[in-house]
Structure 1
Amino acid sequence: MHRIQALAVVRTALRVGMPMMILVACVMLLARQIPMDVVASLPQQLADISILQWGLAAVLTLGSFFAVAQYDVQAHRTLGTGVPEGQARITGAVGIAIGQTVGFGLVSGALARWRMLPGMSVTQALKLSTLVSLTFVVAWAGVTGLVSAVLPAPAWTIPLSVGAIALLPACAALLFWCPTLRIGRQTIPLPSLRIAGSILIWALVDMALAAAALWVLLPSGTMAFEVLLPLFMVALGCGLMSNTPGGVGPFELILVSALPAGAGFEAGVLAAILAFRIVYYAAPACLAILAMLRPLPAVTKWHQAVQPWQALPRSEAQALRQNGGQVDPATSGSSTPIWPTSQTRTLFTDPEGRADTSVLTWLCGTARAHGRIPLLYKSGQRLAQLARSGGWAVLHIADDAIVDLVHYDIDTPLRRRLRRKLRAAQKAGITLRSDTPLPPQSAANVDAEWQAQCGSARGGSMGRYCPNYISQQRVVSAYSGNKLVGFATFHHGPSDWCLDIMRQGTDAPDGTMHALVHQALMDAKAMGCTRVSLASVTACPDPTSPMWRWAAQVAVRHAGGTGLRQFKSAFAPRWVPRYAAAPTWAGLVLGLADIARTVHTPDPLPNRMLEANANVAHHEDENYELASRSAA
């Protein structure tokens, strides 16, 4: 115990003392390069800086801090705090002004943000400060490397340029595949690719304006701006990573060391750096301290009435209850099922009421507010046509198998295969039960057997087995004697049902799944339902194109093969096209890729889904209920 405590004390001492050691080392190195008479002339050099130079530096500093404040705006969007952009800019400017001046920016910046926003907890402030710091470091490295590769820079910056070229695509891949950062028990969402691009742009603007503020303070002829900019970026990053107050030491050492020997600019450069510190560090820090005397008003969060999932026009949207989905009020009296993924703000299925262009406008607005891509997924034909008319990229991605119960009759020639399957199940002695609670342990065993046979199940926009989740669904179960051998669950709405989860054990006889679905169709018809969706299968956007045919074949193989369409075709459904759309083709490709990632590697179920669940929830995808092991 004493040894652990001693190690903790040593680590704390190193963490606190290391910046001071770096500062002392840098001062000693600067003392070797700068004679004392140069230091003695600093007051006169400061006096030689004109009012115009001071004014220009102040204006450029103001522009730089406006760009700096955008880091917090993007961080609040990423974390979904609901803080308005205006307040986010103010707290961001205050937090960064304090953090860059006093050092230990992660902690000092978090305390400043916590003070400015009374409704924010210390943990939330630390998350925000951590996210801002991490994103800025990555943005600094990438932008500095690219600028150093384009503008004249010292030869020792070449490794930084090479690293930036490799860093940016690697970071983009990381943000796509791993959109969440876990530090201990804390989970921090990482920026979307759209937000990451904004951060890169604002980082370039921030550092370019800050470098310009220093450049206008330098004596005329010291160095060209295109020479100073990469040096300034490298010096700024080294100063921030040293954790010395204001980056003092490393910043000066890098800039002074880059001066040509014997040029006589040392005194003017030191005076300009001192003036820059007054304008860019001291003045903003003083203003930030004054601002902290009067924190911003707490953000009032309006809690809208919870919209009922069962009231949506397509019950399929109820799958989003497992995946962080929500029913948002849009325009024209519509309620829209929104599915937030790491890269998109997706309108899943169709909104309630009349679909018009106001829904698309609303979707773009809410996606922009969250730093995401607006995406339509599995929309109907009318909304897809409106999107195409508005210049959106539209793609036919799936066909929905709809059974119209008014015309459902198993004695038709198109359903002869279904009749054979039903006879096989009846001959095997299968007993069907409608809307009776499933035995939790038996259902978990059937689910485990299905996964052992078909491979790991999928998630995303599809239902996953969870007792708490299926308690709000219509459930049909199959028994062999007293043993549960299979079950199917259905979302139910005012006018339609939708097939969601299908599970069968290893000893389920042939025809069990067909019997379960047929029983559900008869139950729905008896309850006055007009149609049942057997969920969708992958479609070919353009059967005349070899490329699209190949892409569709690949998608079908990954979605369970042709067996899935054959299974649903036994019920002779009406195939209804479903579409995906985004404002641009690049956005549509990225959005669909993110949907695919979420389906293949779904996030854990929300805690509210697990509260009444005694078993470990498994991931489920309606497109994989009959998939082979290789496909799953």
Structure 2
Amino acid sequence: MPDAVRRSLPLCGGLALAALLAVEVRALNWAEVSMAIGAIEGWRWVAALAATLVSFAAIGQYDVVAHRHYRTEMPERAARRAGMASIAVGQTTGFGPFVGAALRWRLMPDIGRTTLIRVTGFVTVTFFAVWGLLTLTLAAPVLFGLPALALLTFPLGAAGLAAVLFLFPQLTLFGHRIDLPSLPALTRLTGLAATDLVFAGLALWLLLPPEAAPALSLLIAAFALSLGLGMIGGTPGGVGPFELALVTVLPAAALPDLAAALIAFRLVYYAVPCLAGAGYALLAKPCRRRPVVIYPAPSCGPRAELAIAAQSDSRALNAGPARAAAIRTPQSLTLFLGAARGTLSPLLPELVAAARSENRTPVLYKLSARDAAHLRRLGWSVAVFAVDAMIDPRRFSLQGPDSRQLRRYLRKAEHGEVSVGRILTPDWEEMTAIHGAWEDLNGSERGVTMGRFCPLYLRDKPMFGAWHRGRLIAFISCVAGPRGWSLDLMRHEAAVPQGTMHALVHAMIVEAGHHQMQEVSLAALPHPGLPDWLRNRADSAGLARFKQAFAPRWKPLYMAAPSLPQLVLGAADIRRAILQPAPITRSTEEIWELDALFERVPGAQLDSQPDPAPVPLQRAG
């Protein structure tokens, strides 16, 4: 079917319904209709106008949510007013999305036509999605005389829609990625749409004579159905589909009284807002985007792991002298690892405000016990979720019963002719091949708070390699901080001698001790108290045995959010983002730099490759 034909079908249907309405209109006794209009008391007109104002205040907030979604940095007051004006004129004149986009462009030219089209599309599509949810799960049971059924249908419908948005936060259409609304945005949009429909229906109910007015709940349900059908029809003001649907679902109302109420409603809810919106769009000065500077996330702080934030969609949070890294995931804005500078307290209001400005949930992740206790005192919901394996490299020793297992693995690596050392001049093609073999064996790498293989990311990180008879077979990397190092990537071929990875981590610990580092983190494991469905039990057990060989000190890590539902959503969101990380996006300059790193220089050798004779593992590094 041609695109033009498909687009015109709703309008043709609306015009056909408008023609049917014209037949009904000719049968009306206009003298009775005129008397019914004159009989509407003055206070009802005023109350209907007040209800209309509340409805349009909710309508304007749709645009605020859309601007937050696209992070346009437009003032919320300007976005709300532009939304109210655009929808008021668009719904009255017909072709609402086109008229709305034009008026938004007149009022907010700074953010560009493409973004304004996206904002208009966001408002239109999300309204119809939420309207469908409310109509099918709340209005339909009321219209069918089963209002109690809504107690079941609405939670099920809302949960289903939320599940879809959570599991599929992005869609790809024609090669373009589309970010769907977050669950906080969906919650807010649902509340706004419900407010809009309730007060718009209330305005109509107030204009009906009491003796002809049905129950308010029934009228609001009928209005919700009629409004959507009128908007789908695409006729100016929804004329035709709206009236016919309302007359059909409210057959008990006297036709002259209902016609009078509809005419009065057209004046109050369509004509007055349309004139006000058009006047505002013509006379208001275009709003300019406020200058907002978003700083990159800090890469250095008390904990070495902070550098990992650079691989995610991250930003800095600043509050006076305090600074922290915040990571964006589809549902959350997560303050990562506590304060990078200063204290945590002044950063909390900034985190909440920043999350709200992006339709996300504020979360804090991988907190120390001290920060967790502080947040509990402030009333935040806090939960322990992981344990970090910590080692003091200055006191690390292979002596004693706690290191018996590690000594055994190191001997196995030495007998397998494995030598280890620092990688100073990486052979990226060779390391990429090892990474590919590791993914074939273990599946796709994880992300967000776990480092990912990328030469641009690894080029300034300490790396250690393991060679078997002069050929690189495995490597590890770590991130460095002022106090110490944190283990990051571990990659190896499909088959390596036993003890190879133990030898690499041991080499990292030994070198950290030579540099007088205060701590080495072997990275976190899920807390033993977590339920099995939150962790892969087999993987966790294997990693725990590996790290326990180094006799670490286990340090609990916490996460927090303002409320328990937000904590649950944040935890689920972070877990999903770790297991299914978004692709790493690169600028053109970064791609050129990445290509340069892979250029082969004839005759080049790895400076760090040891002699063919194995290096004694106890002195590796």
Superposition TM-score, scaled by structure 2 size:
0.88
Aligned pairs for 1:27-38 within 5 A: 27-38=18-29
Q: 1:554 deviation in Å?
A: 5.0
**Quick check: 1:209 aligned with 2:209?**
no
The residue aligned with 1:420 is: 408
Instruction: Describe the shift of the 1:325–1:137 C-alpha distance in structure 2 as closer, same or farther (beyond 3 A).
Output: same
In the alignment, the residues of structure 2 paired with residue 344 and residue 165 of structure 1 have an alpha-carbon distance, to the nearest angstrom, of 23
Matched with 1:281 is 270
Counterpart of 2:160 in structure 1: which amino acid?
Answer: A
1:62: Cα distance to partner? 1.0
Measure, in 2, the Cα distance between the counterparts of 1:111 and 1:159. Answer: 42
Q: Does 1:257 align with 2:236?
A: no
Matched, 1:176 2:166: yes
The equivalent residue for 1:188 is 178
Helix, strand or coil for the counterpart of 1:607?
coil
The Cα of 1:286 is off from its aligned counterpart by: 2.2
Distance 1:340 1:220 in 2: 52
Q: Which moved more, 1:508-517 or 1:376-385?
A: 508-517
2:614 equivalent in structure 1? none
Residue segments in structure 2 that go unaligned for 5+ positions in a row: 599-621
The question of whether the paired residues in 2 share the 8 Å contact of 1:489 and 1:499 is answered with yes
Q: Name the aligned partner's letter for residue 293 of structure 2.
A: H
Question: 1:93 aligned to 2:84?
Answer: yes
- Cα gap change, 1:36 to 1:585, in 2 (>3 Å): closer
Question: Offset at 1:319?
Answer: 1.5
Verify: 1:392 aligned to 2:380, yes or no: yes
The one of 350, 358, 382 equivalent to 2:346 is 358
Change (3 A) 1:453 1:133: same
- Which residue of 47, 56, 60 corresponds with 2:47? 56
Change (3 A) 1:176 1:555: closer
The equivalent residue for 1:593 is 572
Task: Rate the CA distance shift 1:497–1:165 in 2: closer, same or farther, 3 A.
Answer: closer
Q: Determine helix, strand or coil for the equivalent of 1:219.
A: coil
- Secondary structure of 1:402's partner? strand
Q: Note closer, same or farther for the CA distance 1:260–1:579 as it changes in structure 2 (3 Å cut).
A: closer
* Partner residue in 1 for 2:60: 69
Q: 1:470 to 1:272 in 2, by over 3 A?
A: same
Deviations 1:141-187 (A, max 9, x none): 22223433564x24699999997565322111011111123332333
**2:309 is matched with which residue?**
320
Give the Cα–Cα distance (whole angstroms) in 2 for the partners of residues 245 and 307 of structure 1. 49
Separation in 2 of the partners of 1:259 and 1:453?
65
Alignment match, 1:12: 4
Alpha-carbon spacing, 1:100–1:160, altered in 2? closer, same or farther (3 Å): farther
Whole-Å Cα distance in 1 between the matches of residues 236 and 175 of structure 2? 30
Q: Tell me, what secondary structure is at the counterpart of 2:536?
A: helix
Residue 468 (structure 1) aligns with: 456
Cα deviations by residue, 1:295-341 (Å, 9 ceiling, x for unpaired): 4321123325545412x11121221211112232135x221121122
Query: Are 1:508 and 2:508 an aligned pair?
Result: no
Contact 1:60 1:210 in 2 (8 A): yes
Q: Secondary structure at the residue paired with 1:606?
A: coil
**How much has 1:464 moved relative to structure 2?**
1.1
Matching residue within 370, 373, 378 for 2:366:
378
The reply on whether 1:565 has 2:544 as its aligned counterpart is yes
Measured against aligned partners, the alpha-carbon deviations of 1:32-73 in whole angstroms (never above 9, x if no partner) come to 444445256655554444443332222211111001111111
Q: 1:579 to 1:203 in 2, by over 3 A?
A: same
Structure 2 equivalent of residue 347 of structure 1: 335
Give the % identical residues: 34
Partner SS, residue 343 of structure 2: coil
Q: Which runs of 5+ in 1 are unaligned?
A: 1-6, 542-547, 618-632
TM-score when normalising by structure 1:
0.87
Q: How many equivalent residue pairs?
A: 593
- Compared with structure 1, are the counterparts of its residues 236 and 204 closer, same or farther at alpha carbon in structure 2 (3 Å cutoff)? same
> Structure 2: how far apart are the matches of 1:437 and 1:130?
50
Q: Does 1:411 align with 2:390?
A: no
1:86 partner SS: helix
Q: CA-to-partner distance for each residue in 1:582-605, whole Å, 9 max, x for gaps?
A: 222222222211111111111111
CA contact (8 A) 2:409 2:499 kept: yes
What residue number does 1:167 align with?
157
- The one-letter code matched in structure 2 to 1:557 is N
Displacement of 1:486 after TM fit?
0.7
Map of 2:290 onto structure 1 = 300
Q: Residues 24 and 395 of structure 1: is their aligned pair in 2 closer, same or farther, counting only changes over 3 Å?
A: closer
1:509–1:259 distance in 2 versus 1, CA, 3 Å: closer
Aligned pair partner of 1:108 in 75, 99, 103:
99
Q: Counterparts of 1:304 and 1:258 in 2: how far apart (Å)? A: 52
What does the per-residue CA deviation read over 1:447-486, in whole Å, with 9 as the maximum and x for residues that have no partner? Answer: 1111222233322321111111111311112222442211
Contact 1:87 1:296 in 2 (8 A): no
Q: Which amino acid aligns with 2:422?
A: S
Q: Secondary structure at the match of 1:602?
A: coil
Shift of 1:252: 0.7
Contact kept in structure 1, 2:89 and 2:100, CA below 8 Å:
yes
Residue 560 of structure 1 aligns to a residue in which SS?
helix
3-state DSSP class of the match of 2:364? strand
Distance 1:156 1:354 in 2: 58
Matches within 5 A, 1:218-237: 218-224=208-214, 225-237=216-228
2:120 counterpart (122, 129, 134): 129
- Looking at structure 2, the residues matched to 308 and 347 of structure 1 have their Cα atoms a distance apart, in angstroms, of 12
- The verdict on how the C-alpha distance between 1:430 and 1:257 changes in structure 2, with shifts beyond 3 A counting, is same
Cα separation, partners in 2 of 1:157 and 1:248, compared to 1, 3 Å: farther
